[in-house]
Structures are given as structure tokens and as C-alpha cells.
Structure 1
Amino acid sequence: MTSLGTATAAPGEIDTGRLFVGETRDGTEIGLPVAVINGADSGKTLYLQAASDGDELNGVGVIRRLVPQLDPDDIAGTILVVGIVNYHAFQVAEHRNPIDDTKMNRTYPGDETGTSSERIAAATFDAATRADLVVDLHQGSTSRMIEECRVRCGPRHRLHDDCLELAKVFGCGHILDQKGPDGQLARAGPDEGVPTIDPELGGCVGWDDHAIETGVQGVKNVLAYYGFTEATHVPEAQTRASGFEQYGSPAGGLVTFHAELGDRVSRNDLLFEVTDVFGRTKAEITADSSGIFWRARRLPQVATGEYVCSVGTQLDTY
């Protein structure tokens, strides 16, 4: 028998339940939706989670579409799933946990006696470190972003190559291979000996069907490559960026982009211009380095210094 919260499944079974992580302000217990898919045959364990940022819903869409397609009789190993991590933020469609105004994916490995976010992180981290592989489904919040997979442990980490291989297997087409901030699951997991990746499934308001299908196929690729299923998967070469440049606006106004997501840009290429409401140019921003136009804000209006876009740099093929 394998359990996660109240979900318990014998070999060849699937069960859903709740992982309790605290109480709401009226004393009602908070239970994260969880599933256990226990394969008929023994094998590795995969941990899969979504919505550690409450407005990043494409990962939830992946789980909603993927789990009904999984037959435990056809699986070797176990899949542990937390469908919604940031419970409070998900309820109000916000990025950060409104109970403690915290970004959940900066709190790992968590603290079971700490803040709301730290307690949720501790409970989900305990599940993640039971696994052989971890896939933490994200997206570029509500901004616009290419589909990519992040390796966040840093190139000198002992599990870097394992994480990079997992990202290649997932197969978004692009990999950001750059050490991430403290508190990310994709940082904390490798420290405990578990290869962990952070697929960023585009960026949108609500969810995007194409990005969701990319995520579903990515998880299926992982299941095939690591022996959970009888399917075969040969990883395709990915475009890897080891650098990531962010651009803010030097003036307030309205943004017009001169590059599309996924475009190759060269140094000094025009990325965007800022105009006033009458169309008069106030600033033109060019690329500092060659790379790929990676991410861009969704709304056209910006204040001085506000984030506008990002370019992935230091490119190679992996």
C-alpha cells in the first residue's frame, strides 16, 4: 500500500484524497487535493505537483487531463500527485499566499511549525523527497512566455547532470539552466538527492490548451524514458540558455514590442519602444546580448523602472 494524505492505493490501484496542511480562519481543515497511482509492477516513484503559485493554472490543467489517462495496470512504479499546492492563493486567483503574503516557491524545504506557506511547503516537500524524480509544474504567471523547462540547482551541483537530463526528457524545446533563488523546490529537491525540474508552461490568464498539452506530453515522456510505462521516448535536442537578462522601462508610457516570443535577437536589436498616449516615442530599448526573446509583460502600460521583458542568453544546444 502507498499513501499520500488520505489517498491510499494498493499495487494496480489509484486513489484520491486530501493532504491536510492547517486550518482556515474559521477553523476548517485545509486539504490539498492529492492522488496516488500505484502501478501493478514495482519501479521508480515520480512526484508531480502544480499551482505552488496560485494563478499558474496550466499545471492544474495538465493534471486534470493526465490522471484520467493513467491506468495503474500499465504502470511500473508509483506516481504521487499534489494537484494544487498553494491552496489559499488558488482560491482567490492570486500569485502569492494571501495568508502570509508569501511566494510559495521561495519557502522550500519548509517548516512544519512555521507560517502557512512554510507548513504547506514542508508537507509537500516530505512527499517530494519520497520520490526518485520530481516535476514541479509552473508557468510564467500571467505574463507571456515561451514554453521552457528550468534546471535550478546550478551547474556545480552534484545532481546537475541528472536534472538537466530530466529537463531534456520532458522536452519543452527550451531549457533555462541557471541556479535559482533559495527556497525553490527545484533547488531544495536536488539537495536531498532527488532530480527536480521546473517546467514553465507558457504564461497566460486562466489556462492555455497548447501549453497544457505540452505539459501532458512532457510527463508522458518522463514516464516512458524512466520505465514507468512500456512506451519509448528518445529525447530531442533542446535549446539551452544559461543566462537570463531582464529589461525594465526607463520611462512611463505604453509599450510596443519589436520582437515576438521565441525570436532570435542580436545585440543592439530593438526589443521595444515606449510612447506617450499620443504616440510620441519616449524611449527605445535594445538588446544587450544575443539570445531568444523569452518573456514579456502582458499589459502595455508601464511605469518607470517596471518590468517589460526578458531575453535568454548564452545559448547552446543540449
Structure 2
Amino acid sequence: MTTTLGTASASPGEMDTGRLEIGETRDGSPFSLPVAVINGSQSGKTLYIQAVSDGDELNGVGVLNRVVPQIDPGTLSGTILIVGIVNYHAFQVAEHRNPIDDTKMNRAYPGKESGTSSERIAHTTFQAATRADLILDLHQGSTSRMIDEVRVRCGRRHRVHDECLELAKVFGVECGHVLDQKGPDGQLARAAPDEGIPTIDPELGGCVGWDETSIEKGVAGVLNVLRYYDFLEDDGATVRQTRASGFEQHGSPCGGLVRFHHELGDRVAAGDVLFDVTTPFGERKAQVTADADGIFWRTRRLPQVATGEYVCSIGTDIDTY
């Protein structure tokens, strides 16, 4: 059966690309999102993948750029629906939020058909996503420095939580870390599980532009999912993951320059020094320690901070599964 997404249309054993129309720009020109359909030669599940719902998070489209050419629809079972760039307006200007309505796109789901710019994009992509059996929403830690991880955002009491966690484990073999914590309202990884669809939010590092190491982990993650869920032939093996169920953020008690005591991914214990804040001449003004045991998860990229400004995050409540 032929499968379509926007203007992309593919018969079994074929792939096609096209555009998914949303609305108009400020000069009245139509705008649309780049989409692809990979229709397997054999029947099977449907996987939906999207990237760049935050306009400066480019590792996700880097993953699609590398993984799509590797997928042969002739050997694929099932269908893959892809929206390559979700936050059209933010992508054009390399900003995080949609500049048309100053909205973080991944707070707008499931969207509104006649709503704001972000709500309309969210509505249209949500309609595409909910055609699927599984959803991958590819992100990164914006331009901060962050470990490669996968997020389960529906909450532990949700009816499809275990299925989301299984999907995270499959994708995250190379990442090795999972944040299992209920996310804010409006996230695709919150809204789609309410429709019964296992959804994860891979956070592929954090950088300005592309990071090849994180992209390769994302490519491996997508291929892991395709093999495990029988889109492609493979044994579908998984490995144990390190899971954090909490997230502890630390700000600076004063202004100055930050000097970290740990590398991303390091284990820390309560009371361990996380960072110093110094003057331009190296004089220590403050020292901040961990409140709980955990993993050094994410840090700001620039060393200069003002009083109260975000510095780093620790993943807490650690176990393996």
C-alpha cells in the first residue's frame, strides 16, 4: 500500500521525500517542513522520527542525514515516517525558540490546528507522529555541554512507561544513560504516550552546530531500534543502561569564572566539589558541592557566570536496568 506524508509518497519497497505544508511566512509565502517516507517491501510496524523541534539542536538532523541513506526500503519491514526539521522559523535563524511567537516548540504538543505558529506546527507533526507505533524525537542539550542520553518523559505510573523505557534501552546502547523523569507539559514525549504510543526523547550531547561523536551514537540508536523491533533483520540484543530518576541543578552563588572539578559522565558523591567560582585572577570566591550522589550530567558551555546563573546538573537516584 502506498504511504504518504505531505507531498512524499512511496509504494512498498520505495522511498520518497517531499514537504509538509504548515502555513505562511510574514511576507505571505507558504512554508513547509521537509519530510520523508520509507515504505518497506514487507509489512510491519510504523516508526515516526523527527528532529530540530528546537532550532539550534542540529545533531538530530545530522543523524537523519547519515542514517536515511543507509536504509534500503527493499529489505525493510514496515514504514518510517520522518519530519527532518520541525521548528522551521527557529532553524532559519539558528535560534532555540520559534521567533514568530517566542515559544519553545517542545512545549506546544499536541498543538492546535488554528493556534499560534508553534501550536500549528505541533498539531500537524503530532498528526503524523500518532500514525506510528513508536516515536523517536531527536534532541540535544541545546548548546550546553551534556552527556549523550535518552529521556523517558511520561512518568513511571503511565500505562506505557515500561514500553517507553524498553525503547530507551534499545536506542541508548551506545549512550548508556537514561533520564527516567516525568517531563513538562507540551513535550511530544509526554503527549504521544497519552495516545498509547511509546515515545522517547534522545538528547544527543550538546554543542554548537554538529558533534560527530553524538551523531554517530544517534545513528546507531536508530539502527538499534529498527533491528530490535523487526524493521530490519537482527538478533535485537540489548545491554544494561544506567538510569537517573532525578535531576539536580546548580547555579552560581556569585559572579565570576567557573572551574569544574569533574568531567561529563563522572560519578560524584554528596559533598564532592562540583565547581569553583573565581575572579579573573584565579582567586576563589565560592565552591559548590553536590547535594546527593549521582552522575555529572550537564554543564554550561561558557565559563563566565552571574549570581544565580545556571552552571551544571547532576543526574540522581541512579540504578541500572
Q: Secondary structure at the match of 1:49?
A: strand
The reply on whether 1:24 has 2:19 as its aligned counterpart is: no
Q: Secondary structure at the match of 1:15?
A: strand
Alignment of 1:121-160 (within 5 A): 121-160=122-161
Could you say which residue in structure 1 is the equivalent of 2:227?
224
Alignment of 1:106-255 (within 5 A): 106-171=107-172, 172-255=175-258
Could you say which residue in structure 1 is the equivalent of 2:42?
41
CA distance, structure 2, for counterparts of residue 6 and residue 303 of structure 1:
49
Q: Deviations over 1:27-82 (max 9, x none)?
A: 11111000000000000000000000000000000000011111100100000000
CA distance, structure 1, for counterparts of residue 4 and residue 148 of structure 2:
32
| Superposed displacement of residue 232, structure 1 | 2.4
Could you say which residue in structure 2 is the equivalent of 1:79?
80
The reply on whether 1:258 has 2:261 as its aligned counterpart is: yes
| Superposed displacement of residue 277, structure 1 | 1.5
Could you say which residue in structure 1 is the equivalent of 2:294?
291
CA distance, structure 1, for counterparts of residue 236 and residue 56 of structure 2:
31
| Superposed displacement of residue 312, structure 1 | 0.2
Structure 1 residue ranges (4+ consecutive) displaced by more than 2 angstroms after TM superposition: none
Aligned residue among 296, 305, 309 for 1:306: 309
Q: TM-score, normalised by structure 2?
A: 0.98
| Superposed displacement of residue 191, structure 1 | 0.3
| Superposed displacement of residue 120, structure 1 | 0.3
> What is the aligned-residue RMSD (CA, Å)?
0.5
CA distance, structure 2, for counterparts of residue 283 and residue 3 of structure 1:
58
Structure 1: segments with no counterpart, 5+ residues = none
Q: Deviations over 1:257-278 (max 9, x none)?
A: 0011000000000000101112
Letter in 2 for 1:22: G
Q: % of aligned pairs identical?
A: 76
Could you say which residue in structure 2 is the equivalent of 1:5?
6
Q: Deviations over 1:111-164 (max 9, x none)?
A: 010000000000000000000000000000000000000000000000000000
CA distance, structure 2, for counterparts of residue 303 and residue 101 of structure 1:
24
Aligned length: 318
CA distance, structure 2, for counterparts of residue 3 and residue 305 of structure 1:
49
CA distance, structure 1, for counterparts of residue 279 and residue 315 of structure 2:
28
Q: Give the conservation status (yes or no) of the 8 Å contact 2:229–2:236.
A: no
Letter in 2 for 1:203: G
Q: Secondary structure at the match of 1:81?
A: strand
Letter in 1 for 2:308: G
Letter in 1 for 2:115: G
Q: Secondary structure at the match of 2:315?
A: strand
